[in-house]
Amino acid sequence: MPKPRTSDGITQPRLGPSGWLRWFWRQLTSMRTALLLLLLLAVAAVPGSLVPQRSSDPNGVTQYFRDNPDLAPILDNLQMFDVFTSAWFSAIYLLLFASLVGCVIPRTRHHLKALGQKPPKTPLRLNRMAGFIRKEHHGAETDARGAAGAAEQLLRKSGYRTVMFDEPATRGRPGAYSVSAERGYLRETGNLLFHIALLGVLVAVGVGGGFGFTGQRVVVEGQTMVNSLVSYDSFNPGRFFNDSSLKPFTLSVDTFDVTYQSDPNKGAYGQALDFDVKTTTRLPGEEPQSNRIKVNEPLSIGGTNVYLLGNGYAPTITVRDPSGRAVYREIIPFLPQDTNLTSTGIIKVPDGLADQLGMIGFFYPTPFELGTGALTSAYPDLKSPVLELRAYRGDLGINDGTPRSVYTLDTDGMTQIAGGKSGTDALRLGLGETVELPDGLGTISLDEVNRFASLDVHRDPAQGWVLLFAVLATAGMFAALLIPRRRVWVRATDGEGNTLQLEYAGLARGEDPQLAQAVADVARRHEAALDLEAPLDLEASPDFTSQRSTSSRTDVNSSP
Amino acid sequence: MTETLSQYSAILLYCTMVVYAAAFVAFAIDLAQRSAAAGRPVAQSGAGEQLTAAQRRAAAQTTQTASGQAGGSGTVTTLDRPTVIDDDAEIARTRSGGVVIRVAMALTWLGFIAHLLATILRGVAAERVPWANMWEFSMTGTVLMVGVFLGVQFKLDLRFLGAFLIGLVLMLLGIASLQYYVDVVPLPPALQSYWLVIHVLVATLATGFFALGFALSGVQLMRTRYEESEDSPPTWLGFLKTLPAAVTLENLAYRLNVIGFILWTFTLIAGSIWAEAAWGRYWGWDTKEVWTFIIWVIYAGYIHARATRGWRGSRSAWLAIVGFSAVMFNFGIVNVFFKGLHAYSGL
Ligand code: HEM
């Protein structure tokens, strides 16, 4: 890649705008900048793990604002709750990838050219190169030309690209034949593949995020969801999302079975062992299909995946007025508060009673009475469920049309009539039971309790591409890091009196700890091929150079 | 039955720690002996190659050759031998042939076998792979560190790292037995996946290589200090003289860290595939994902540093050390104290 041309600052010509641009580009695409940007990227990611992120932990962010009311807004201004989409984080990785492009393009060009080229001329003085070996053979049957030819054959068979040079005699040097060989082009190919595939990953991630969506929906056993915008409890579309990518399927949760560790004598009593949601899905014009969703086993339908991410209980509650007429009947998902599924939910009865009625419910699937008389849940399965209610009468605050969350009750305009300091005990009812509401308002019953599945629906059209590029990157990296790129030279010279002089040497291009061994190996095999006696001294090979030379480094850093 | 087995496993692990402690002492004695030997005026190690630091660096960076006549009859008459520093030769030169180091290695092997048995026993007790909570991560992670250390010896003599590495393993096991022991419990549904076997095993193996790379980089920095200072090191650091040259240590560290990096890349990809199945998205910047990414980027930086002029040597060693610190942070701190989807510490 282009090397930053270090200015010595003495007689620098004045740069025009285009000069500055070129200067800036050279700086950006230098290896040092790439390195600094990489390190900066690592540092910039750290706050993303220290501070809760809106993308992965929105409740954590709300909590953080509550706990640190002074600090939170400052951090928010610095985009600390959205680190990975923040301007500064984006700037770093975009610069990094710009640098990557600027680095890869010239290198690819250079490499393509190198792929079509023969290895360069054999250096005059091989004894300056790595792993140098020189031998002199007396009475050899081959001459220099034959020896070089044999070397070329041998190197070619070992995957080297070779070229033979006839080196005529000069003043001070006898004529010789030499072979210049190079192998490991795949190393650079792999390196380029790796870096280009990284770009591919980035683009695919962006495309997938832009065109996909995620939606959450709570579905109670027996209920059906329709894959349309309105049916989601929450929905996060990508920037380029349009409705047409919502395939018109429906999904019914038929049953939801959970297995728990039920042996109190073993560890982890009450831990869930298995979640099993049986579903029926329907696509227009097709037969309904029965299938199932488990953790780690999403359901795939119409290019969309459905995941099981949570569970809980949804009691069915009926409220009747004093005459016994049902004024309210709802299945209400309660939010789990702990691993034993103590859950809370809100019941709002706006019409049909003497007054509006609001209730905060606590649901205990397997109740256990603490010393204080308060209840808690001791086991997550439904053994003898109890619903406990604090009741309020008055104004629910929904008449003026202000949207209110179904998960909160604003008790400001209301009077507590059961539980807490109201003087009346909280209402407690078991499965199938009915109790009187205070003040003769009517009755309330717990008719049924079902499980609900909290489903995540996710579509990412580019997900397969991300995987493909990631796999390509890995393959490229394997080649780039593990395949040695090296040059090997063999020179054969006819000496006086029927002697044959053989020289071997190599050059590492990049990390190549085995170079010296490789050269020694070539020498040994070459001599075997020439039927020369195995040289005596070759066991000494650990002493030969294995050179990760500065020259190979220069390669990496110098302009292609 | 399960509990009994898992307790046997724990007891066996405590025995392992005793053996490792003995090995550590032996490694330390070896270093001390090297220090003492290095203090003696006559150059030891036979090769008579007490090059000065400057010569060494020059030798490692340029390629000069000195030809020596290895005269002889028969076919071979000349053999040029470069005096350039070569990693293998450098290691061979600094090899300790002492009895003590052999005892240390034998003890390490013994400890490793006990360690491996303890880990397998835990797996048998749990009827699954023994890496699903902090206690098990610690046990398997350290057994792989020692395994990598022992395995690498077949290719490279890195016994001089014994004190460093076994010390680290002992420390980790000590923390684990004080803080992390938990009884066997069934796997939560999210962990019931073959990706647990692959993803976590490869991550742990990567940690083993990073640990060794870290140890080498640490020694490299000390050695560099020694090579750059004019005066002799204090006696207790005399062993530094007998270690391979900093350049060699750096090359070795690089080789190990590169293997670790490849494994870590695989960990990252396998993790995303698993996350896609379990959580409905392949990447969501969950705290553990953030740290996996940070570690990956640091080591990518480390690899770039080796190829950047001005960043080789100590700077790249520091990067390797920062990288391994991040690995340890990810394991010891993020797993236990940070909130996120990866809540599998079992604590
Ligand atoms: C997105 C940011 C980047 C990442 C994550 C990254 C990662 C890596 C990795 C993992 C390697 C080792 C594997 C291989 O050789 O293929 C590597 C090598 C290399 N990268 Fe990058 N790289 C990035 C950007 C760049 C940029 C911008 C440049 C050029 C300025 C660059 C130049 C190189 C070179 C020359 C090597 C070979 C190093 C050697 O032979 O030791 N990289 N990179």
**In this model, does residue A400 exceed pLDDT 80?**
no
Do B82 and A543 count as a contact with CB atoms less than 8 A apart? yes
pLDDT tens digits, B102-134: 999 999 999 999 999 999 999 998 888 999 888
Q: Quote the CA–CA distance of A348 and A330 in Å, as a whole number.
A: 10
Q: Quote the CA–CA distance of A52 and B286 in Å, as a whole number.
A: 9
Q: Quote the CA–CA distance of B158 and B168 in Å, as a whole number.
A: 15
Domain A126-184+484-540 class? alpha beta
pLDDT tens digits, B46-63: 333 344 444 444 444 433
Q: Tell which A residues from 433 to 472 touch B, by Cβ distance under 8 Å.
A: 456, 458, 460, 463, 466-467, 470-471
Rounded average pLDDT over A301-309: 90
- Report whether residue A195 contacts ligand 1, using a CB cutoff of 6 Å: yes
Q: Where are the beta strands (DSSP E) in A184-334?
A: 213-220, 224-226, 234-237, 250-260, 272-282, 289-293, 299-301, 304-320, 326-331
Query: Quick count: other Cβ atoms within 10 Å of Cβ B149?
Result: 26
Could you give phi then psi for residue A357, rounded to 5 degrees?
-125, 130
Structure tokens at B227: 């090579």
Structure tokens at B79: 């053999």
Residue of chain B with shortest Cα separation from A84: B285
pLDDT tier for residue B235 given thresholds of 50, 70 and 90: low
Q: Quote the CA–CA distance of A133 and A502 in Å, as a whole number.
A: 8
Do B283 and A205 count as a contact with CB atoms less than 8 A apart? yes
Helices (H), A378-512: 463-482
Coil, strand or helix at B35: helix
Owner of token pair 């490793």: B112
pLDDT tens digits, B133-160: 889 999 999 999 999 999 999 888 899 9
- Which range of residues forms the domain containing residue B54? 48-96+127-337
Do A305 and B280 count as a contact with CB atoms less than 8 A apart? yes
Tell me the average pLDDT of chain B.
Answer: 82
Of B64, B294, B304, the CB nearest to A31: B304
Q: Which residues of A touch B182 (CB under 8 A)?
A: 267
Do B75 and A532 count as a contact with CB atoms less than 8 A apart? yes
pLDDT tens digits, A479-495: 999 999 999 999 999 88
In-domain check, residue B70 = yes
Do B280 and A298 count as a contact with CB atoms less than 8 A apart? yes
Do A273 and B301 count as a contact with CB atoms less than 8 A apart? no
Q: Tell which A residues from 368 to 427 touch B, by Cβ distance under 8 Å.
A: none
Q: Does B70 touch chain A (CB under 8 A)?
A: yes
Count of A–B CB contacts within 8 Å? Answer: 223
Q: Which residues of B touch A473 (CB under 8 A)?
A: 265
pLDDT tier for residue A3 given thresholds of 50, 70 and 90: very low
In-domain check, residue B3 = no
Q: Does A129 touch chain B (CB under 8 A)?
A: yes
Q: Which residues of B touch A132 (CB under 8 A)?
A: 65, 80, 82
Rg of chain A's alpha carbons, rounded to an integer? 38
Query: Quick count: other Cβ atoms within 10 Å of Cβ B154?
Result: 7
Q: Quote the CA–CA distance of B299 and B263 in Å, as a whole number.
A: 12
Ligand 1: atom nearest CA of A30 is 30
Determine the distance separating the centroid of ligand 1 and the alpha carbon of A185, expressed in angstroms.
Answer: 16
Q: Quote the CA–CA distance of A505 and A532 in Å, as a whole number.
A: 19
- Report whether residue A101 contacts ligand 1, using a CB cutoff of 6 Å: no
Q: Quote the CA–CA distance of A366 and A372 in Å, as a whole number.
A: 17
Q: Which residues of B touch A549 (CB under 8 A)?
A: 61-63
Of B78, B87, B304, the CB nearest to A135: B78
pLDDT tier for residue B32 given thresholds of 50, 70 and 90: confident
Choose which residue among A195, A199, A205, A557 to substitute to test ligand 1 binding: the one with the highest number of ligand atoms within 8 A of its C-beta: A195
**Of the candidates A415, A412, A410, A420, the residue with the CA atom closest to the CA atom of residue A439:** A415
Query: Quick count: other Cβ atoms within 10 Å of Cβ A391?
Result: 27
Do A214 and B280 count as a contact with CB atoms less than 8 A apart? yes
pLDDT tens digits, A430-456: 999 999 998 899 999 999 999 999 999
Sign of CA dihedral B195, B198, B202, B204: positive
**Of the candidates A302, A276, A303, A280, the residue with the CA atom closest to the CA atom of residue A291:** A280
In-domain check, residue B271 = yes
Q: Does A274 touch chain B (CB under 8 A)?
A: yes
Q: Does A547 touch chain B (CB under 8 A)?
A: yes
Rg of chain B's alpha carbons, rounded to an integer? 23
Choose which residue among A26, A40, A189, A191 to substitute to test ligand 1 binding: the one with the highest number of ligand atoms within 8 A of its C-beta: A191
Distance (Å) from the alpha carbon of B277 to chain A's nearest alpha carbon: 5
Q: Does A202 touch chain B (CB under 8 A)?
A: no
Q: Quote the CA–CA distance of B160 and A515 in Å, as a whole number.
A: 25
Q: What is the pTM of this model?
A: 0.85
- Burial of residue A480 (CB within 10 Å: 0-12, 13-18, 19+) is buried
- Enumerate residues 6+ apart whose C-beta is below 8 A from B240: B38, B222, B223, B226, B233
Q: Quote the CA–CA distance of B43 and A186 in Å, as a whole number.
A: 45
Least confident of A191-195, A546-550, B142-146, B225-229: A546-550
Q: Quote the CA–CA distance of A429 and A419 in Å, as a whole number.
A: 13
- Enumerate residues 6+ apart whose C-beta is below 8 A from B81: A540, A543, A544, B65, B66, B67, B68, B70
Greatest mean pLDDT range, A164-178, A203-217, B58-72, B315-329:
B315-329
Structure tokens at B128: 């699954």
Q: Look at residue B99 in the predicted model and tell me its pLDDT.
A: 86
Residue of chain B with shortest Cα separation from A276: B189
Q: Which residues of A touch B318 (CB under 8 A)?
A: none
- This model of the complex carries an ipTM of 0.85
Do B280 and A39 count as a contact with CB atoms less than 8 A apart? no
In-domain check, residue B105 = no
pLDDT tens digits, A55-111: 888 888 999 999 999 999 999 999 999 999 999 999 999 999 999 999 999 999 999
Rounded average pLDDT over A539-558: 32
Q: Quote the CA–CA distance of B215 and B163 in Å, as a whole number.
A: 10
Domain count, chain B: 1
In-domain check, residue B7 = no
Q: Quote the CA–CA distance of A155 and A526 in Å, as a whole number.
A: 9
In-domain check, residue B198 = yes
Name which residue sits closest to atom 39 of ligand 1, judged by CA.
B307
Do A55 and B62 count as a contact with CB atoms less than 8 A apart? no
CA–centroid distance for B24 within its chain: 15
